[in-house]
Structures are given as C-alpha cells and as structure tokens.
C-alpha cells in the first residue's frame, strides 16, 4: 500500500495523482473507511474554504466526489446508497453554486439525472399503488420508497437551478415522494 499524501491545500497535485492511481488499481488505498471519509471531508472543507483559490475549489470538490464514488462500489446496498447520496448531493450543491457546465463531469446535471432514473426500482404507477395501499407494502417496498425520497431531495435542488431532460418525470417522482413515508 502506498500511503495517502499529506492533506494540505497546496498538496493537491500529489493527492490527485494518488487518487488516480488508487481508482485505476495501480496502488491499494486505505483499508479503513475513516481514512477515506477523512479525505472526503478535508476535500469538501478545502473546496468550500474562502482561502482556497477560486480555481482550485472545484478540483477539491472533484476529489471528494471521487472518494464517495469509490466508497459506493460495495456489495452492501446500504453503504452503496449512502455513499452515492453523498456523491450526488455534493455534485448537486456544486452545480447549484457554480452553474451547469456540461463539459465538466462535476457540473453536468445529466449525470445526476441518469443516476436518479437508473436507480428507480419500479414504475411511477407502481409507486402510486403503494401510496394508495400502504398496507400492501413490503419492507423492501418501504426501503425503496425511502431511498427514492432521499434521492428526490437531491433532485429538488437541481430542479431549482437547472433544466433537466426528463423534467416532468422527475417532478412527478418528487411530488410522489412526499406521500411515500408514513407520518
């Protein structure tokens, strides 16, 4: 294992290169999840810091998204969902702050839109049936509805600041999400 470079704002090039090598499988990263979470938190804080040069802020946010994306590649559906939410929430907030730039993966809302739509476990019609007949929901249905509701929180932020290709479908899901969970 090649150890993570020192976490300092001016050490971005070494951290970026190290992350690239981990993602590409050239080196092994930390085995402790807290080390990864520490890197993600450092990158977010540095990316939001007023002392970080404007041109470097998005670079740091990209590191954080990369960490969350890497952590989401697990067989455990709970952690996969949690880390995907973290990555997409950060992306949505960065898009909300900096605007859409489709040539920059970090600032391209289509990636979040596709993520949302690809993770839908059933149709809008089935979701409506589950809302109308809550006694027929299985525990798995309830988990899926909760996850969709959490994803809709991210989509609502995008709906405020961007035009999405599947706007009407996503708006419908987000309206339904309010009725998903028991009161």
* Residue 121: inside a domain: yes
pTM of this prediction?
0.89
pLDDT band at 164 (very low <50, low <70, confident <90, very high): confident
> Domain count of the chain?
1
Q: Is 119 helix (H, G, I), strand (E, B) or coil?
A: coil
Which domain does 154 fall in, by range? 104-183
* Residue 122: inside a domain: yes
* Residue 164: inside a domain: yes
* Residue 114: inside a domain: yes
Q: How far apart are CA 142 and CA 40, in angstroms?
A: 30
pLDDT at 183 over 80: no
Q: What is the pLDDT of residues 22-80, one digit of tens each?
A: 989 999 999 889 999 999 999 999 999 988 888 899 999 999 999 999 999 999 999 99
pLDDT at 89 over 90: yes
- CA 62-65-71 angle, to 5 degrees, is 140
pLDDT band at 162 (very low <50, low <70, confident <90, very high): confident
**Contact yes or no for 98/58 (Cβ under 8 A):** yes
Q: How far apart are CA 4 and CA 39, in angstroms?
A: 9
* Residue 85: inside a domain: no
* Residue 66: inside a domain: no
Q: How far apart are CA 123 and CA 182, in angstroms?
A: 20
Residues 6+ apart with CB under 8 A from 153: 89
Residue holding tokens 């090649």?
2
* Residue 25: inside a domain: no
> What integer pLDDT is reported at residue 182 of this predicted model?
59
Q: What is the pLDDT of residues 112-138, one digit of tens each?
A: 999 999 999 999 999 999 999 999 999
Long-range contacts of 7-16 (CB under 8 A, 24+ apart): 7/38, 7/39, 7/42, 9/46, 9/49, 9/51, 9/52, 9/56, 12/56, 12/59, 12/60, 12/63, 15/39, 15/63, 16/59, 16/63
**3-state secondary structure string across 50-91:** CCCCHHHHHHHHHHHHHHHHHHCCCCCHHHHHHHHHHHHHHH
* Residue 36: inside a domain: no
């Amino acid at each position: 294992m090649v150890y993570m470079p020192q976490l300092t704002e001016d050490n971005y090039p070494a951290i970026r290169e190290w992350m690239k090598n981990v993602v590409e499988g050239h080196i092994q990263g930390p085995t402790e999840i807290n080390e990864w979470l520490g890197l993600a938190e450092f990158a977010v804080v540095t990316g939001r810091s007023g002392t970080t040069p404007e041109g470097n802020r998005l670079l740091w946010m990209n590191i954080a998204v990369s960490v969350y994306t890497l952590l989401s590649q697990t067989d455990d559906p709970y952690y996969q969902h949690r880390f995907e939410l973290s990555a997409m929430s950060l992306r949505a907030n960065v898009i909300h702050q900096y605007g859409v730039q489709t040539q920059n993966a970090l600032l391209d809302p289509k990636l979040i839109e596709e993520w949302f739509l690809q993770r839908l476990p059933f149709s809008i019609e089935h979701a409506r049936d589950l809302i109308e007949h809550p006694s027929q929901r299985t525990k798995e249905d309830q988990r899926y509805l909760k996850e969709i509701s959490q994803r809709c929180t991210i989509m609502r932020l995008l709906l405020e600041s961007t035009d999405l290709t599947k706007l009407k479908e996503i708006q419908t899901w987000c309206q339904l999400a309010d009725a998903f969970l028991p009161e």
